Amino acid sequence: MEECEALCTRMAVMVNGRFQCLGSTQHLKAKFGEGYSLIIKLRVGSGDQFSLEEKTRALMEFVGATFPSAQLKDQHDGLVHYRVGKEPGLTWARLFGTVERARATYDIEDYSVSQTTLEQVSP
């Protein structure tokens, strides 16, 4: 599927031999995608006031309260992975801005936001 995204300007999707949709990869992701993937890595340091578990718990409460549709996919060693579903008013700017403002509060070292891939899109 990555090759299709790199080489094609338009894609057609067939399910069980039936034509389902046609459009650019971005159009298909926007129309049929399930939201965003949010990966956050917390800073791990020996002189921290709070333990990694406490920081992780606080971050998870923040994400759950800020993005009600967020589903925890994975969590280990200060790394949390969420799938944030489509919500009214949820844009790239809001998602990035919210995480960027929370960086200092929750001691976030790094984060990544991405759209669902074409493999995850279901027409």
Band of residue 42 on the pLDDT scale cut at 50, 70, 90: very high
Cα–Cα dist 71/60, whole Å:
10
Pairing of β 36-42 and β 18-23: unpaired
Q: What pLDDT, on a 0 to 100 scale, did the predictor assign at position 46?
A: 60
Residue 68: strand, helix, or coil: coil
Is the confidence at residue 32, as pLDDT, over 80? no
Give the list of residues 6+ apart from residue 6 with CB closer than 8 angstroms, or none: none
Pick the CATH number of 34-116 from 1.10.10, 2.30.30, 1.20.58, 3.30.70: 3.30.70
Q: Where are the chain's structural domains?
A: 2-31, 34-116
Residue 14: strand, helix, or coil: strand
pTM score, whole prediction: 0.77
75-112 per-position pLDDT tens digit = 998 899 999 988 888 888 899 999 999 998 999 999 99
Return the amino acid letter for 4: C
